[in-house]
Amino acid sequence: AKKELGYTTYTFYTKGIQEEVKNSFFFEKELQLAVQNDEFIVYYQPFVELASENLVGMEALLRRKKRNGEIVSPASFIGALEKMNLIEKVGMKVLDKVCHQLKEWIERGYNVVPVSVNLSALQFKNPHLAKNIKKVLESYGIPPRYIVLEITETMVMEDIGIAQLIIEELKNYGFAISIDDFGTGYASIGYLKKFMFDHLKIDISFIREIVENAEDRAIVEAIIAIAKTFNLHTIAEGIESEEQLYVMSTLGCEMGQGFFWDRPITAQQIENKYLKVCL
Ligand code: C2E
Ligand code: MG
Ligand code: MG
Ligand code: MG
Quote ipTM for the complex: 0.99
Give CA separation, 279 vs 108, 270, 275, in Å: 11, 19, 13
- Residues 151-202: tens digit of each pLDDT: 999 898 888 899 999 999 999 999 999 999 999 987 788 889 889 899 999 9
Is 202 a pocket residue for ligand 1 (Cβ < 6 Å)?
no
- Residues 212-262: tens digit of each pLDDT: 999 999 999 999 999 999 999 999 999 999 999 999 999 999 999 999 999
Is 78 a pocket residue for ligand 1 (Cβ < 6 Å)?
yes
pTM value is 0.93
Residue type present at position 36: Q
Residue ranges near ligand 2 (ion) with Cβ within 5 Å? 118, 150, 180
- If one residue of 40, 47, 59, 62 were mutated to test the ligand 1 pocket, choosing by the most ligand atoms within 8 A of its CB, it would be 62
Kindly give the pairing relationship between strand 40-49 and strand 55-65: antiparallel
3-state secondary structure of 35: helix
Report the alpha-carbon distance of residue 151 to residue 133 in Å, rounded.
14
> Nearest to residue 79, comparing CAs of 9, 8, 31?
31
